[in-house]
Amino acid sequence: MIRLDRYLCEMGEGTRSEIKEMLRKGRISVDGLTEKNPARKVEENSAQVSVDGRRIRYAKNVYFLLNKPAGLLSASRDGKGQTVIDWMRDREPENALLKRELFPTGRLDKDTEGLLLVTDDGALAHRLLSPSRHVEKTYYVELDGKLTEEACRRLCEGVQIGEGEKTGPARIREAEAVEGCAEDSKAAYFLTITEGKYHQVKRMMQTQGRNVTYLRRVAMGPLVLDERLSPGQFRPLTKNELSALGIGGRGKTVSG
């Protein structure tokens, strides 16, 4: 059980002082009865807490799947440009869950699109990003020319990408170019890697004399990009996606 004011603060409904004022004005109820005591203990998963008649369901952590558009920075805050968190909050300013200390799990280059998990669950982020976990990440890659069979073999075995860095084993297969591909795209592939080195995919292709003209992440671990999401759109993870991540019933993603 936790204090009512902490419950509401964690759900992004306001600061402790703001919650106290809301309680004083009778705007908050617990199990159908108006409550004015911020220290009231409530059971997170069973208490019916409402603000202005709007039900607030407790979520220990929150999880969003974003189809990142090009032009956004994969960061929580950055003084040099708009971040994915800024973007999400601008589009749903009334979503209390987006007021939490959210961060993107892993980075995508500014000009790269695709799957990005946004959460406040540090333990999950560590599991997905730890090099020892070898979590697979799959990218749809368009190039300015076709790779030879030998080039594909080298990429799968691992290549030196500079500064003493060598990539681990990868998988690559040819793909059909999607509608709206870059004008200078000549070939398309799906590339699966288990690392996240700086500009890794671009640097890998450059070792084989090819330049990336378009890049989109389509999968990370058990998560697959929802093709119904246009670039810039996002949604909470489904129960099946949460379960696939080993979260079970801990994570909830909606309030109201």
Residues identified as active-site = 109
C-alpha span between 217 and 195 (Å, rounded): 13
Compute CA 110 distance to the chain's CA centroid, rounded to the nearest angstrom.
Answer: 15
Strands 113-119 and 212-220: what pairing? parallel
- Which positions ≥6 away from 100 have C-beta within 8 Å? 10, 12, 62, 120
DSSP three-state, residue 166: strand
Look at residues 62, 88, 47, 105 and name the one whose alpha carbon lies nearest to residue 252. Answer: 62
Tokens of 137: 């990440």
**Rounded Cα–Cα distance for residues 106 and 34 (Å):** 43
**C-alpha–C-alpha distance, residues 157 and 188, integer Å:** 20
Q: 27, exposed or middle or buried, with CB in 10 Å at 0-12, 13-18, 19+?
A: middle
Closest CA to 98 of 236, 249, 251: 236
